[in-house]
Amino acid sequence: MTRLARSDLDVFGLCLGGNVFGWTADEAQSFEVLDAYVAAGGNFIDSSDSYSAFAPGNQGGESETVLGNWFTARGNRADIVLATKVGRKPDRQGLTRANIRTAVAESLERLQSDYIDLYYAHADDPDTPLKETLQAFDELVKEGKVRQIAASNYSAPRLAEALEISDRDGLARYIALQPHYSLVERHHYEGELAELCVRENLACVPYWALARGFLTGKYRSGVEVDSPRAGAASKYLDDQRAVGVLEALDRIAEAHGVTVAAVALAWVRAQDGVAAPIASARNPQQLSEILPAATLELSDAELRELSNVSA
């Protein structure tokens, strides 16, 4: 288990992404994945009030609803570190105090829970003062509705400013950052953001750590994959650097007897500031392919090889 920054939240080394619940995985399939994840020792689940608004017929909140039904069916809410987000649901855009107050009440109702372990600002809201957002989050922490707060999709300057405001005014402080980060998309996190996370003791919990599925190794030239993400993942096949990353992953995965996806996630987990990468699974088979990433330790030589080929 890994401790998230200065908090008392101890989490599994692989965070289970809830974006597929209520989208490409119906409730029964989602329950199978969730049960298998917990059976393997997992306890860290990521969702959002906006999941999965982008799917036809959905409005957002579907993932939280599935999770709430699972918590109630299994009676295991206290065993899970649950992360969810506010600010990007189509009818709950932004980080004003009023929106956050309404959104958290709706999320808690869907989740059938009276608290959220880790509540993210889903994306920076330049139209709302950072202090207003932090004051709203601080209220939720004091009321016991939220245990800890975090930020997603923030630039280094804006995140640093938010931390300064919290420190200066005695408000709840972000303990984690959720950035876009993978072997083939390194620039979103490395540099200023990574340095800030390490310096300020923020836990990094990256999303799209498998590059929308490309780093599962299923996407190869001439191979058709039946997935809603196929178009986005296949674009990497036009990038010779990304293809080189896959070749290196193939070699290392074979040496360890694990999947390409597990190695790609293990590399992310080994980077400065990273607590646990996020990855999702539509069924237990997909989950079994990524679970080894939580404990897989790559050698220094393997880490260097992957870092060099992906640079």
CB atoms within 10 A of CB 258: 19
Which residue in 51, 119, 154, 181 is the catalytic one? 51
Active site includes 115? no
Q: Taking the mean position of all CA atoms in its chain, how far away is CA 131? A: 25
Closest CA to 37 of 8, 67, 16: 16
**Beta bridge partner(s), residue 10:** 3
Residue 248's pLDDT is: 98
Residue 267's pLDDT is: 98
The series of mean pLDDT values per 10 residues for the chain, 311 residues long, is 95 98 97 98 98 93 98 98 98 98 98 98 98 98 98 98 98 98 97 98 98 90 65 80 96 98 98 98 98 98 98 95
Residue 257's pLDDT is: 98
Residue 131 tokens, joined: 């202090």
Residue 228's pLDDT is: 65
Residue 54's pLDDT is: 87
Residue 223's pLDDT is: 67
- The secondary structure of residue 182, as a DSSP letter, is B
Q: Where are the domains of the chain?
A: 2-310
Instruction: Give CA separation, 88 vs 155, 174, 186, in Å.
Output: 17, 18, 24
Residue 233's pLDDT is: 73
Instruction: Give CA separation, 138 vs 99, 144, 147, 174, 296, in Å.
Output: 14, 10, 10, 10, 37
Are β-strands 15-17 and 174-178 bridged in parallel, bridged antiparallel, or unpaired?
Answer: unpaired
Residue 238's pLDDT is: 81
2-310 is a CATH 3.90.1150.10 domain: no
